[in-house]
């Protein structure tokens, strides 16, 4: 029993143990004066700050706001990115014309263009969402094209031999075959989206957790700031768990 | 084929391959994969094409299946020259071709799903063919949980399920062990006879070809030409027991004689792993 429990939960236990161990190491380093406590507060202080940021700073509401922006921006980049990827896959000309640009878009530090977006969309959640969306788009487009293009020829031949229509071919062979790679794209994309959203909240001092972290930092409430960062990680973890669920539901047996 | 056993109708052959040529590449790099190949398959007849690796068998298979539309000569089903997949033709591919995102039963039921067959009926029919290829207890498994030979049997069942009038198979048993190959061969013969299915089997396996066929088309190694067409006058109904008979051994020896020459040319031509496979066959 104990053995199978370990085998099943082993990785998680190991992860948690690593986390606790590194927290303890930092605690020791900071208390020992090796690391300056005004740069990194001791983990125990951060832990104690959790209650404060929840009760006094209402961080859960902030998380909700950030998560909301994340859902809109992340969802939109999937809903727009996948179809664009499909179009690029269909047209060799467009693909050759666009692929490098999109690659450049993926690598560009879009966050720095925030003044432009502020002018376009005002100092509102719209700016945050649009920037998150734009940053999340490129990986999904690129991975959709890659996924569709890597469909094995023999599977396409099976479809052809069954006289499948273009749309049957797409929905029943190309898309399911591309799914794992598209999901890799979504995972990459959502990482970009969350970084952008929290970063812009911080930069323009508006909205969810990012703004709160900004405020706490300006108050020199370092334990609070780090506690805030922990909540960003929490939001991210929740999104990725949800994504994993969707993935295994959409494609069992992979 | 012995004429006396079949009704001596002056009927049109179900499938005609007429002087087919296929070249790949251009300029000095031209490879002639299929070189003036002609033969025909009668309705209900089982014909095998046998030849060493790289002699153009899969190319011919793709042309007959309508997947390679640019070729010289003509492949005809009825009056129609084939340049696109024909609805009467079912194909089993040489490469592994199951859908990894579908369970075994959903893989097999796939063609029926496309035809809009009601769910309960398509499950019944899929079940029947899965049973036939001996995978009954794996219906809910995904291909990733199966061995190579099992996956190949799923593909065979998936093609059989829509009961095509003309069945094309490209080395469908290559990934199977000898025992499974013989037994599955029996099953295929059985439905082929029941449905009076016209069957063209591409293979490099001599035993398999003699066990199953009414006629065998022996191909030369590059360029792929017809070397000889051999009638197999072994009695039907025929099971894998025939493998032990003298007549069987006679045919195998006779065809091996032709094939050996070609296979050795193939071997000499390339040291590839593919050539080694042909020498086994
Ligand atoms: N798409 C292609 N482009 C260029 N050459 C090709 C192409 N397809 C096949 N060939 C060439 O045609 C020849 C015949 O190939 P084919 O796949 O038909 O052989 P095969 O008889 O099926 O061999 P095997 O028994 O190994 O499957 C080979 O020399 C191969 O290199
Ligand atoms: Mg082949």
- Closest Cα to atom 22, ligand 1: which residue? B58
Q: Are B232 and B216 in contact (CB under 8 A)?
A: yes
- Give residues (CB < 6 A) around ligand 1: B 24-25, 31, 33, 53-59, 94, 204, 274
Q: Which residues of A touch B100 (CB under 8 A)?
A: 177, 253-254
Measure the CA–CA gap between B82 and B85, rounded to whole angstroms.
7
Ligand 1 atom closest to B55 (CA): 21
Q: Quick one: pLDDT at residue B225?
A: 87
Q: Facing residues of B41 across strands?
A: B15
Which ligand has its closest atom nearest to the C-alpha of B54? Answer: 1
ipTM reported for the complex, 2 dp: 0.87
- Closest Cα to atom 4, ligand 1: which residue? B24
Structure tokens at B22: 């296929």
How do the domains of chain A map onto residue ranges? 41-250
Q: Is the Cβ pair A253, B66 closer than 8 Å?
A: no
Tokens 């969707």 locate to A246
Mutate to test the pocket of ligand 1, among B31, B92, B173, B272 (most ligand atoms within 8 A of CB): B31
pLDDT of A96 above 70: yes
Q: Does A249 touch chain B (CB under 8 A)?
A: no
Torsion of CA B193, B195, B198, B202, to 10 degrees: -70
Mean pLDDT to the nearest integer, A161-186: 95
Q: Does A168 touch chain B (CB under 8 A)?
A: yes
- Kindly list the averaged pLDDT for each block of 10 residues, start to end, along chain B of length 281: 47 87 87 91 94 90 94 92 94 94 96 94 94 92 92 94 94 86 86 89 91 92 86 86 87 88 76 55 52
Rounded distance from Cα B19 to ligand 1 centre (Å): 18
pLDDT of A118 above 60: yes
Q: Are B82 and B67 in contact (CB under 8 A)?
A: no
Q: Facing residues of B21 across strands?
A: B72
pLDDT, tens digit, 9 for 90 and up, residues B15-49: 999 999 999 988 888 888 999 999 999 999 999 99
Of B85, B95, B99, nearest to A161 by CB-CB distance is: B85
Measure the CA–CA gap between B166 and B46, rounded to whole angstroms.
10
> Residue A251's closest chain B neighbor by CA?
B101
Q: What is the pTM of this model?
A: 0.84
CATH number of A41-250: 1.10.3720.10
Q: Is the Cβ pair B97, A157 closer than 8 Å?
A: yes
Q: Which residues of B touch A162 (CB under 8 A)?
A: 85, 110-111, 114
Measure the CA–CA gap between A177 and A170, rounded to whole angstroms.
10
pLDDT of A91 above 60: yes
Q: Quick one: pLDDT at residue B272?
A: 53
Q: Is the Cβ pair B99, A176 closer than 8 Å?
A: yes
HSE-up of residue A55 (Cα within 13 Å, Cβ side): 5
Q: Are A176 and B101 in contact (CB under 8 A)?
A: yes
HSE-up of residue A36 (Cα within 13 Å, Cβ side): 3
Q: Is the Cβ pair A176, B101 closer than 8 Å?
A: yes
Question: How close A224 comes to chain B (CA, Å)?
Answer: 46
């Amino acid at each position: 029993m104990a053995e199978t429990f370990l085998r099943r939960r082993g990785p998680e236990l190991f992860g948690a143990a690593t986390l606790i161990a590194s927290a303890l190491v930092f605690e020791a380093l900071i208390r020992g004066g090796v690391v300056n406590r005004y740069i990194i507060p001791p983990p125990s202080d951060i832990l104690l700050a959790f209650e404060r940021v929840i009760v006094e700073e209402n961080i859960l509401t902030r998380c909700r706001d950030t998560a909301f922006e994340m859902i809109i921006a992340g969802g939109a980049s999937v809903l727009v990115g996948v179809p664009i990827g499909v179009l690029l896959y269909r047209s060799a000309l467009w693909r050759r014309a666009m692929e490098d640009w999109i690659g450049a878009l993926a690598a560009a530090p879009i966050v720095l263009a925030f003044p432009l977006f502020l002018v376009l969309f005002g100092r509102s959640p719209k700016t945050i969402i649009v920037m998150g969306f734009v940053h999340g788009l490129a990986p999904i487009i690129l991975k959709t094209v890659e996924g569709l293009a890597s469909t094995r020829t023999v599977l396409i031949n099976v479809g052809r031999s069954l006289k499948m229509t273009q749309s049957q071919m797409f929905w029943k062979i190309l898309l399911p075959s591309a799914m794992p790679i598209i999901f890799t794209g979504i995972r990459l994309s959502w990482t970009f989206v969350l970084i952008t959203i929290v970063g812009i909240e911080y930069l323009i001092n508006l909205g969810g957790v990012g703004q709160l972290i900004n405020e706490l930092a300006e108050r020199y409430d370092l334990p609070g700031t780090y506690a805030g960062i922990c909540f960003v990680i929490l939001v991210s973890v929740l999104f990725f768990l949800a994504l994993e669920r969707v993935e295994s539901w959409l494609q069992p047996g992979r | 084929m012995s004429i006396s056993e079949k009704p001596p109708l002056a009927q049109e052959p179900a499938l005609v391959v007429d002087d087919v040529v296929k070249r790949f590449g251009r300029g000095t790099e031209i490879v002639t994969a299929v070189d003036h190949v002609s033969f025909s398959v009668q309705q209900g007849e089982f014909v095998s094409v046998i030849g060493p690796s790289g002699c153009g068998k899969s190319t011919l298979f793709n042309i007959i299946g309508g997947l390679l539309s640019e070729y010289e000569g003509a492949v005809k089903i009825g009056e129609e020259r084939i340049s696109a997949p024909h609805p009467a033709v079912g194909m089993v591919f040489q490469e592994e071709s199951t859908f990894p995102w579908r369970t075994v039963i959903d893989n097999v039921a796939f063609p029926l799903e496309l035809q809009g067959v009601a769910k309960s009926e398509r499950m019944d029919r899929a079940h029947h063919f899965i049973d036939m290829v001996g995978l009954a207890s794996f219906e809910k498994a995904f291909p990733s949980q199966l061995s190579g030979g099992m996956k190949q049997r799923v593909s065979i069942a998936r093609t059989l399920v829509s009961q095509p009038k003309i069945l094309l198979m490209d080395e469908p048993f290559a990934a199977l062990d000898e025992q499974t190959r013989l037994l599955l061969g029996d099953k295929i013969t059985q439905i082929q006879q029941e449905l009076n299915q016209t069957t063209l089997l591409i293979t490099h396996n001599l035993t398999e070809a003699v066990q199953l066929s009414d006629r065998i088309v022996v191909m030369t190694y590059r360029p792929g030409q017809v070397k000889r067409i051999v009638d197999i006058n072994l009695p039907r109904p025929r099971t894998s027991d025939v493998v032990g008979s003298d007549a069987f051994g006679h045919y195998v020896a006779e065809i091996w004689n032709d094939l050996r020459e070609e296979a050795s040319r193939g071997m000499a031509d390339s040291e590839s792993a593919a050539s080694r496979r042909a020498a086994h066959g």
